[in-house]
């Protein structure tokens, strides 16, 4: 007879392994940027459950207009996993941002302890985007609001990587705290932004874009956060391919592969980084 350690595992042993696996707590993950207010309630419930199963402990849902900022705050009040950002997206501004709009954003930010950043703001210099001066002035006003509130700015930059850095520098963004959302720049852009005090947020383009993978090799893990930028991708016929917060685990896996570290290390570091970036202690 074989000694016990060499015998085939019995049913009790297999059952206890399965039980341990079922109770395994996945490492904590955070999704630093989403638009959850754009989903209907039923879709949202399913997504939040899948996110929690994947180990997601925090999802930041940011506003793009006054109305969507209000809904983001409402969602944050309703769901433990959800935190909110309030702001006006550079593509959603219709003219120079006025005092009245900033007063509403300020009131919304102060209305809930779960508002953790001023977002979404930034510069979007595609050909059909709103006037660049309106966008820049709006970004500056958002940074100043964040400074006054003691909250971070989570910002968007599209076709404006060279233009946004001087604005951030002039506004002394390091004193305010900031996250560069959906980063797709090169290592130099990342290094400059980190030098100004920003964190770099990586999303699913990292899974396929080799230039971004190269940049990530140079970005220190302690300055990275992760996101999905989830919004309803109804144009994707196959619902299983629509991005949702649980997919932040795929981004973490890719970072782990590029950096040659364990998934759990990326999950834990990026969770700690987001809390630090948002000054959550």
List of residues contacting Zn ion (CB under 5 A): 120
Closest approach of Zn ion to the CB of residue 88, in Å: 12
Buried b vs exposed e over 242-259: b needs ≥16 C-beta within 10 Å?
Answer: bbbbbbbbbbbebbbebb
Q: Which two tokens stand for residue 254?
A: 């890719």
Of the two residues 27 and 181, which places its CB atom closer to Zn ion in the complex?
181
| In the complex, least distance from residue 169 CB atom to Zn ion, rounded to whole angstroms | 23
Nearest to Zn ion of 31, 120 (CB atom): 120
DSSP for 90-136, written as a single string: GGG--SSPPHHHHHHHHHHHHT-TTEEEEEEEEEE--TTSS-HHHHH
Residue among 120 and 124 whose Cβ is closer to Zn ion = 120
Q: How far is the CB of 229 from Zn ion (least distance, A)?
A: 5
- Distance (Å, rounded) from C-alpha 53 to C-alpha 99? 42
Residue 195: CB minimum distance to Zn ion, A: 24
Q: How many angstroms separate the CA atoms of 139 and 158, rounded?
A: 13
The C-alpha torsion from 177 through 111 and 80 to 243, rounded to 10°, is -60
H/E stretch holding 215: helix 210-218
Nearer to Zn ion, 48 or 72 (CB): 72
Q: What minimum distance in Å lies between the beta carbon of 240 and Zn ion?
A: 22
């Amino acid at each position: 007879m074989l000694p016990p350690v060499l015998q085939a595992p019995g049913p009790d042993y297999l059952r206890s392994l399965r039980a341990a696996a079922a109770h395994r707590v996945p490492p904590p993950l955070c999704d630093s940027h989403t638009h959850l207010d754009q989903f209907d309630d039923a879709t949202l419930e399913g997504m939040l459950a899948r996110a929690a199963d994947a180990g997601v402990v925090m999802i930041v849902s940011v506003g793009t207009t006054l109305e969507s900022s209000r809904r983001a705050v409402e969602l944050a009040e309703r769901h433990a996993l959800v935190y909110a950002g309030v702001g006006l997206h550079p593509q959603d501004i219709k003219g120079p941002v006025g005092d009245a709009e900033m007063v509403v954003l300020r009131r919304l930010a102060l209305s809930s302890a779960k508002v953790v950043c001023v977002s979404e703001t930034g510069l979007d210099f595609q050909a059909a985007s709103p006037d660049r001066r309106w966008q820049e002035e709006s970004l500056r006003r958002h940074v100043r609001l964040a400074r006054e509130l003691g909250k971070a700015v989570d910002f968007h930059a599209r076709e404006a990587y060279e233009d946004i850095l001087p604005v951030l520098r002039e506004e002394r963004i390091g004193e305010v705290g900031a996250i560069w959302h959906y980063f797709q720049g090169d290592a130099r852009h990342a290094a400059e932004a980190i030098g100004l005090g920003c964190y770099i947020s990586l999303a699913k383009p990292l899974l396929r874009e080799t230039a971004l993978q190269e940049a990530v090799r140079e970005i220190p893990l302690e300055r990275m956060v992760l996101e999905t930028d989830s919004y309803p991708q109804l144009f994707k016929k196959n619902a299983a391919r629509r991005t949702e917060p649980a997919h932040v685990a795929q981004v973490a896996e890719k970072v782990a592969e590029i950096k040659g570290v364990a998934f759990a290390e990326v999950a834990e570091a990026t969770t700690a980084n987001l809390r630090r970036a948002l000054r959550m202690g």
